[in-house]
């Protein structure tokens, strides 16, 4: 066979056989090495591919296991209307509400939360005006009957009350009982079948702690079935509500969960999915500062609200107070006591007046705030330290009843200053005057 040599543009050179043999040997070696590398690469690629495939299979299996675990957690047994007893709180919570299984609680409790609507009519110089009021509520069972718990201010003065369940079915409702002092109301729904009711479990709020994760479900701005999460940011607060007259609503829970208009009356949950409060108010213009009436108040009043239509066991002192502070103590000449409440006024004929509690008489200004000085300073009740007005109101809410005798630790005014010692005054608590509904 004749082989035609491919020429180049280089000048022809005489052939040198030893070099040609060397070239052939080198090329052969390169071919062998290249083939080996290629084979090795192919082998490693196959092995890597197998390892990756195996890893992906393991990941898929793990994901399936996690999904199965999550599904089993979400499939909650509610035959008794209660959570199965699993605590979804995790000690690693970062304070943002991540320590609560919001998904599980929502699936368990959302159908128990209702929308409460009514018409409020106001009269002015320009005539009568009707406004639709919208709030939230939740189902409870009492003596084998189903009721709706909501806020008093949601139903106050309403006509054409109705309750709409999560499935969209609405029914007429009536107020069974209410208490403006605690901003609570109980409703009865007309004509709703038993299948609409999914009662929630209410537990005592006495063991709550600051930092505990919570979830709230309600209807903010009419957006039904909305859930938010957060933590308990404070306990033992008091709030002012015009529905409660000039009296404070005491022992209130402060939460970081977003609460908006329309949330009023909705349930606040712990990590077990149990009701620990009823959302009721926000600080106007604030973010992440909401309030809830504690569940212990609901439990304390529920029987009376349903059986008698009201609750009439709020203890009453009959005083107006201001919180003490370091600067106020300095201005008053008080030694060793920078806490407590300064009695600025005493209601005529009240338990405080009968016990000899002294009201203030002289107006002073401290740090831009006016106070009425010269009155008694209450620093304890039944041996419990009274730090401020919140503490006094919370103690009365939790531990006191009308006609109960209590011991007040009081610092009495003495000339232009105050006594350095604490006097004990015995006082018989009264009952708050009734508020018109």
Q: Which residues are catalytic?
A: 153, 183, 264
Does residue 247 sit in helix, strand or coil? coil
In terms of Cβ atoms closer than 10 Å to its own Cβ (0-12, 13-18, 19+), residue 47 is exposed
R_g over Cα of the chain:
37
Burial 49-87 (b: 16+ CB within 10 A, else e): eeeeeeeeeeeeeeeeeeeeeeeeeeebebeeebbeeee
- H/E/C letters for each residue in 101-139? CHHHHHHHHHHHEEEEEEEEEEEECCEEEEEEEEEEEEE
> How many other CB atoms sit within 10 Å of the CB of residue 270?
25
What is the C-alpha to C-alpha distance for residues 55 and 61, in angstroms, rounded to an integer?
A: 10
Please give the C-alpha separations between residue 320 and each of 300, 344, 364, 373, in angstroms, as whole numbers: 26, 6, 16, 12
Residue 189: helix, strand or coil by DSSP? strand
Burial class (CB in 10 A: 0-12, 13-18, 19+), 410: buried
Alpha helices in 13-145 (DSSP H): 17-74, 102-109
Give the residue from 103, 121, 98, 421 showing the smallest Cα distance to 256. 98
- How far is Cα of residue 148 from the mean position of the Cα atoms in its chain? 20
Nearest in space to 223 (alpha carbons), one of 261, 275, 279: 261
How far is Cα 229 from Cα 219, in angstroms, rounded to an integer?
14
């Amino acid at each position: 066979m004749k082989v035609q040599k491919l020429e180049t543009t280089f000048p022809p050179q005489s052939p040198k056989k030893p070099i040609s043999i060397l070239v052939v040997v080198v090329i052969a070696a390169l071919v062998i090495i290249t083939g080996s590398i290629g084979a090795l690469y192919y082998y490693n690629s196959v092995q890597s591919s197998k390892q990756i495939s195996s890893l992906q299979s393991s990941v898929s299996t793990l994901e399936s296991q996690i999904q199965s675990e999550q599904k089993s957690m979400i499939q909650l047994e509610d035959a008794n209307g209660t959570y199965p007893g699993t605590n979804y709180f995790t000690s690693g919570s970062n304070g943002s509400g991540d320590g609560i299984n919001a998904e599980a609680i929502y699936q368990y409790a959302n159908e128990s939360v209702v929308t409460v609507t009514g018409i409020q009519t106001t009269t002015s110089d320009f005539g009568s005006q009707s406004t639709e009021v919208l709030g939230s509520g939740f189902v409870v069972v009492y003596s084998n009957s189903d009721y709706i718990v909501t806020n008093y201010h949601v139903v106050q003065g309403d006509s054409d009350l109705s309750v709409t369940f999560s499935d969209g079915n609405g029914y007429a409702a009536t107020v069974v009982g209410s208490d403006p002092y605690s901003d609570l109301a109980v409703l009865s729904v007309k004509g709703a079948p038993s299948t609409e009711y999914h009662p929630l479990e209410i537990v005592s709020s006495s063991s709550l702690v600051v930092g505990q994760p919570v979830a709230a479900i309600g209807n903010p701005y009419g957006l039904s079935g909305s859930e938010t999460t957060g933590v308990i940011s404070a306990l033992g607060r008091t709030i002012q509500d015009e529905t409660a007259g000039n009296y404070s609503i005491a022992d209130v829970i402060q939460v970081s969960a977003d609460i908006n208009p329309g949330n009023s009356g909705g349930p606040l949950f712990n990590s077990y999915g149990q009701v620990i409060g009823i959302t009721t108010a926000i600080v106007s213009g604030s973010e992440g500062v909401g309030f809830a009436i504690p569940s212990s108040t609901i439990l304390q009043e529920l029987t009376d609200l349903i059986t008698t239509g009201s609750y009439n066991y709020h203890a009453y002192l009959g005083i107006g107070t201001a919180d003490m502070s370091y600067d106020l103590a300095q201005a008053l000449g008080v030694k060793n006591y920078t806490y407590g409440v300064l009695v600025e006024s005493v209601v005529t004929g009240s338990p405080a007046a009968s016990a000899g509690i002294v009201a203030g008489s002289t107006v002073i200004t401290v740090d831009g705030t006016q106070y009425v000085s010269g009155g008694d300073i209450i620093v304890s009740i039944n041996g419990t330290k009274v730090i401020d007005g919140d503490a006094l109101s919370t103690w009365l809410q939790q531990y006191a009843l009308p006609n109960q005798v209590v011991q007040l630790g009081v610092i009495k005014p003495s000339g232009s200053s105050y006594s350095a010692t604490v006097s004990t005054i015995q006082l018989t608590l009264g009952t708050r005057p009734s508020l018109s509904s």
